Amino acid sequence: MKSPYSPFPFTDLTATKTRPVAVVSVEAFQQETGDFTVAMITSVPHTTPYDYESKEWQAAHLLRPSWVRAKLATLDPVLVRYRPDQLSAADLAEVEKRIRLALELR
């Protein structure tokens, strides 16, 4: 999962904000659909059971301490503005847990 910067829609769809995102879909999904699914990354602290505070945000070249939220969007890769690096394997495993919890996936 890379952490590109992309426009991410507000939940009411009135606007978007360019922010870092974690790609949470598999490569095969992107190859089949031409799109990828992303989770929102923010520097604003959040503490719901569906949010994860990245422990290794600096290794992913994020600019400040960051939280990955289970707010998902499917985007066209041409919207990517910048690709810093990917989240660590440990961070990705925790993000996956939060998304599974939010979607009630086993």
The rounded Cα 100 to chain-centroid distance in angstroms is: 14
Q: Return the structure tokens found at 16.
A: 């978007």
Token pair 């707010």 is at which residue?
71
Read off the pLDDT of each residue in 11-23 and give the average, rounded to a whole number. Answer: 91
Digit-coded pLDDT (tens) for 45-73: 998 999 999 999 999 889 999 999 999 99
Is pTM beyond 0.85? Reply is yes
What confidence score (pLDDT) does residue 1 get?
46
Please choose, from the candidates 106, 92, 105, the residue with its C-alpha nearest in 3D space to the C-alpha of residue 24: 92
Q: Would the pLDDT of 33 be above 50?
A: yes
What architecture (CATH level 2) is domain 5-103?
A: Roll (2.30)
